[in-house]
A and B are shown apart, each in its own frame.
Chain A
Amino acid sequence: NAGVTQTPKFQVLKTGQSMTLQCAQDMNHEYMSWYRQDPGMGLRLIHYSVGAGITDQGEVPNGYNVSRSTTEDFPLRLLSAAPSQTSVYFCASSYRGRNEQFFGPGTRLTVL
């Protein structure tokens, strides 16, 4: 099993550009989520999904969109990147009802 995979590992964007961070898992987990990690802030939940077709907002959803068309994939879209979105982004997954989440290796995003 590959576990949770994320692409790309690194990305540099200009303000106003759009992009999609990819996340996939092969463990048949129902629950998937996106976090961002910033210095001194820990990990903050952006969006999450409890199953295909179901998504909801976390603590810091503004500026991000998600969709969940399959169990395996949970992409995160930045519609118009801003410097405040410079961060490291982690995708995580788990079985529904299990709090122990498995994390991907992260995507380091810089917005100039």
Chain B
Amino acid sequence: DQQVKQNSPSLSVQEGRISILNCDYTNSMFDYFLWYKKYPAEGPTFLISISSIKDKNEDGRFTVFLNKSAKHLSLHIVPSQPGDSAVYFCAASDSYGGATNKLIFGTGTLLAVQP
């Protein structure tokens, strides 16, 4: 049973436009959500996060939105740049600030930003 789902395996956008990556979850106990970015042959790197007490968190060109009632979050990248081309993973935790830092990951979305 996939608790964190990224239903779009890939997304292609033009440079300068907005990229919107989506993620759905089923476990209502999740209280912290993260986005990771992964380039080929490298490990994932942390991008941005949001706790369940917020509905929006912004960091430069990256904004994450959380809709708890719909169990849905999205990552907006504005403006998109060719260097943003990577696989993006959504992850969730049910122990924010707790003893264990276990993360459940989605399957990833491959973003291609066309020059």
Q: A residues within 8 Å of B by Cβ?
A: 4, 31, 33, 35, 40-45, 48, 50, 56, 58-59, 90, 92, 94, 96-106
Assess whether A96 is in contact with B101, with CB atoms less than 8 Å apart: yes
Judge whether B107 and A96 touch: CB under 8 Å: no
* Contact status of A105 and B42, CB under 8 A, knowing A42-B89, A42-B108, A99-B32: yes
Q: Is B115 an interface residue (CB 8 A)?
A: no
Is B62 an interface residue, CB under 8 A from the partner? no
Number of interface residues of B (CB under 8 A): 29
20 A-B pairs, CB-CB below 8 angstroms?
A33-B101, A40-B107, A42-B106, A42-B108, A43-B44, A45-B102, A45-B103, A48-B100, A48-B101, A59-B104, A97-B97, A97-B101, A98-B97, A98-B101, A99-B49, A99-B101, A101-B101, A102-B46, A105-B43, A106-B41
Q: Taking CB as reference atom, which chain B residue is nearest A104?
A: B43
Task: Give the residues in chain B near A90, CB-CB below 8 Å.
Answer: 43-44
Inter-chain contact A99/B96, CB cutoff 8 Å? yes
> By DSSP majority rule, is chain B's interface helix, strand, loop, or mixed?
loop
Q: For the complex, is B25 an interface residue (Cβ under 8 Å from A)?
A: no
Q: What is the interface of chain B, defined by CB distance below 8 A to chain A?
A: 4, 6, 32, 34, 36, 41-46, 49, 89, 91, 93, 95-108
What CA separation (Å) do A56 and B100 show in the bound complex?
A: 10
Which B residues are CB-close (under 8 A) to A58?
102
